[in-house]
Amino acid sequence: MSFSINNPEMMREIIMDNYQNPRNVAVVDDKNYITIHMDSASCIDDIYIQVLIKDGKVSDCKWHGKGCAISTASTSIMSEMILGKTIQEADKMMAEFNKMMAGEPYDEETLGEAICFANVNRQPSRITCANISWRGLKKAFDKEEKKDE
Amino acid sequence: MKILDPLKIRQDFPMYRHDSLFEGRPLVYLDNAATTFKPYSVIKEGDLYYEDITANAHRGDYSLAHEVDVAYEGARKEVADFINADVDEVCFTSGDSMGMNEIAYGLLPLLKTGDEILLTFAEHASNVLPWYQVAKLTGAVVKFIPLDKEGRVTIDNFKSVLSNKTKIVSLASVTNVLGFLLPVKELCALAHSVGAIYVADGAQSVPHHKTDVKDLDIDFLAFSGHKMLGPTGIGVMYGKKKLLEKMNPLFFGGEMNARFDSCGYVSLSDVPLKFEAGTQNISGAMGLGKACLYIQKIGFDAIEEHELKLKKMAVEGILSNGNATIYNQNCEGGIITFNIDKVFAQDAASYLGSKGVFVRSGQHCAKILPEFLNTQATLRASLYIYNTEDDVKALIEACKHAEDFLDVFFN
């Protein structure tokens, strides 16, 4: 059976795999990267997201920090999804992800593996775990936009 | 000694009125270190102010206003008796944090560069951050008393940092993460031997253990109402009268002054009213008075025995599950701080929550403690008078398979 919202076993596996073997974890010391620090008083998540934007595209995305399974796996998956995408394309993914979190209809194809978080909103307090990296990415894009002003 | 019957106690608590069910399942509330449920007597007393005797306190010359004064000052007396203070040594606050800030800023004029304030790594933010601020403003230094391997403050460790430079010692009598009970009386006597002021943060101790400010000889004490069956938004700052008289209030405004003029002259009200600027949480104070009476009726011996019995049962059960680490096995109170091995605390708390077992995850506002415990975050189950053996069994059972924490999202 292929990966889809109807295959909960595979969704679980993707979360666990990205939690235990998170992708794109590194500390980048390069001023060309936009670095966003995401932490909050109400949870332990303490995550740094670093993106390199070239010619309107995400040419690299690295991250590091500490978080729960949901925030770790979601950040890992996002870091893979947005690689090589234009800001507009990544924005579209973010919008679809947010719709999924809000329980609204969303485009499965755009989200790919990230649909494994479709059920997170069963525990409303955990939505902030699943979208922490997307919120960070938005801040990074805002920063990039201001740079040009 | 009286034995406490939690099932009988539950009859006094509306949160348990639906056959102790929540969302159709047994209500297993184990987050009492965060806040507690309230008995009818507390709620009714708070409502009484709004329904029957609404007027401002200390301001009116009519009979209704007099009723309010009697109720408000009556509550102060109930609180004073509860901690064995004199009635004019009890100042109402919004809670523990406000009390700690009043104390820290009130003592600020005593501090100068190089003076030392002693805390521990296990303190709650309310007993760390006000001192950081006051240290920054005065050049005083915050120092930490080393904890022993288990996480306790020992007399020897205290002596190792206590010196003539020590001006203030401010310690939670029971810390909110590890739950160890401090030897307050001995620590306080030692602090006094070098001329230091002893401040007790009582947020976690006052609800669970007898606090006799005269016997302990502590100089200041702060605590919250909502952690001891009382309303939210009300708390207490106790101070020895001679210290309160010398201390400046943090807040200035209505009712705390006797008179002032355009030249800047201000004459303050007497203690404790000079620390109660503006209209107070009268309803909250009245409710807190009744919470004190409720706890006294049950008795601290019975409370301590009940919590310790349940805590031991929880520790044994969680350990025998074989998948957890407990950080405070030997603490004297009803706090169990632990982690399910290889499961991040927040994932575990969500999972336990999905089984109807409500515990806290995180750093519990003691954000420098992880440096000592070597873990990012923990789970914390905290007990009180209405918790039962069934609650503890539910906790143990829910922890058994917490490795399957993703079930929350898929089953």
pLDDT tops 90 at residue B408:
no
Query: Alpha-carbon distance B132 to B401, whole Å?
Result: 42
Chain A residue with the nearest C-alpha to that of B370: A44
pLDDT at position B274: 95
Asked if A8 has any chain B CB less than 8 Å from its own CB, the reply is yes
Residue A84 lies in a domain: yes
pLDDT at position B365: 74
Structural domain of A95: 8-148
pLDDT at position B200: 98
Cβ–Cβ contacts within 10 Å for residue B389, how many? 12
pLDDT at position B362: 84
Residue A40 lies in a domain: yes
Which residue's structure tokens are 């507390």? B42
Residue A90 lies in a domain: yes
Confidence of residue B3 (pLDDT cuts 50, 70, 90): confident
User: What is the per-residue pLDDT across B120-178, written as a single tens digit (0 to 9) for each?
Assistant: 999 999 999 999 999 999 999 999 999 999 999 999 999 999 999 999 999 999 998 89
* Cα separation values, A137 from A38, A78, A84, A102, Å: 10, 9, 14, 18
Which residue's structure tokens are 């950040």? A75
Range with the poorest average pLDDT among A64-68, A74-78, B186-190 = A64-68
pLDDT at position B170: 98
Residue A87 lies in a domain: yes
Considering only CB atoms, A120 lies closest to which of B346, B363, B409, namely B409
Query: Alpha-carbon distance B342 to B349, whole Å?
Result: 13
The DSSP bridge partners found for residue A49 are: A36, A63
Indicate yes or no: CB of A69 within 8 angstroms of CB of B410.
no
B353 Cα to chain A: minimum distance (Å): 9
How many CA atoms lie less than 13 Å away from B246 in the CB half-sphere?
9
Please tell me whether residue A112 adopts helix, strand or coil conformation: helix
Closest CA to A121 of A102, A98, A144: A102
Confidence of residue B90 (pLDDT cuts 50, 70, 90): very high
Buried b (16+ CB within 10 A) or exposed e, B207-222: bbbbbebeebebbbbb
pLDDT at position B409: 87
Give the H/E segment covering residue B310: helix B300-321
Q: Averaged over A66-88, what is the pLDDT?
A: 95
Q: Averaged over B49-56, what is the pLDDT?
A: 96
Which residues of B are known catalytic residues? 365
For an interface test with B, the pick among A70, A119, A132 (most B C-beta atoms closer than 10 Å) comes out as A70
* Overall number of domains in chain A: 1
Residue A15 lies in a domain: yes
Confidence of residue B335 (pLDDT cuts 50, 70, 90): very high
- Token pair for A13: 């596996």
Cβ proximity of A18 and A72 under 8 Å: yes
pLDDT tops 70 at residue B262:
yes
Chain A residues in contact with B34 by the CB 8 A cut-off are: none
pLDDT tops 70 at residue B403:
yes
Range with the poorest average pLDDT among A45-59, A91-105, B360-374, B387-401 = B360-374
Quote the DSSP letter at residue B22. Answer: E
Q: Averaged over B46-56, what is the pLDDT?
A: 97
Can you say whether the dihedral through the CA atoms of B222, B156, B209, B383 is positive or negative?
positive
Confidence of residue B368 (pLDDT cuts 50, 70, 90): confident
Chain B residues in contact with A12 by the CB 8 A cut-off are: 406, 410
CA torsion B277-B283-B284-B287 (nearest 10°) is: 140
Query: Alpha-carbon distance A83 to A90, whole Å?
Result: 9
pLDDT tops 60 at residue A97:
yes
Cβ proximity of B90 and B79 under 8 Å: yes
Instruction: Give ipTM to 2 decimals.
Output: 0.82
pLDDT tops 70 at residue A2:
no
B336 Cα to chain A: minimum distance (Å): 19
User: What is the per-residue pLDDT across B354-365, written as a single tens digit (0 to 9) for each?
Assistant: 999 999 998 877
A vs B: CB pairs below 8 A: 43
Query: Alpha-carbon distance B222 to B238, whole Å?
Result: 6
pLDDT tops 70 at residue B219:
yes
Quote the DSSP letter at residue B203. Answer: T
Confidence of residue B207 (pLDDT cuts 50, 70, 90): very high
Chain B residues in contact with A126 by the CB 8 A cut-off are: 346, 350
Range with the poorest average pLDDT among B26-30, B145-149, B395-399 = B145-149
- Token pair for B54: 């609404």
Confidence of residue A147 (pLDDT cuts 50, 70, 90): confident
Confidence of residue B105 (pLDDT cuts 50, 70, 90): very high
Residue A1 lies in a domain: no
pLDDT, averaged across chain A: 92
A39 Cα to chain B: minimum distance (Å): 13
Asked if A119 has any chain B CB less than 8 Å from its own CB, the reply is yes
Chain B residue with the nearest C-alpha to that of A120: B409
Closest CA to B195 of B105, B103, B114, B110: B110
Confidence of residue B34 (pLDDT cuts 50, 70, 90): very high
Cβ proximity of B10 and B265 under 8 Å: no
Range with the poorest average pLDDT among A67-71, A128-132, B259-263, B346-350 = B259-263
Domains annotated on chain B, with CATH: 6-30+299-410 (3.90.1150.10), 43-297 (3.40.640.10)
pLDDT tops 70 at residue B1:
no
Parallel, antiparallel, or unpaired: how do β-strands B141-145 and B266-268 relate?
Answer: unpaired
pLDDT tops 90 at residue B223:
yes
Parallel, antiparallel, or unpaired: how do β-strands B360-362 and B257-260 relate?
Answer: unpaired
CATH number at residue A138: 3.90.1010.10
Parallel, antiparallel, or unpaired: how do β-strands B357-358 and B28-29 relate?
Answer: parallel
Residue A3 lies in a domain: no
Confidence of residue A43 (pLDDT cuts 50, 70, 90): low
Residue A2 lies in a domain: no
Cβ proximity of A118 and A136 under 8 Å: no
Asked if A129 has any chain B CB less than 8 Å from its own CB, the reply is yes
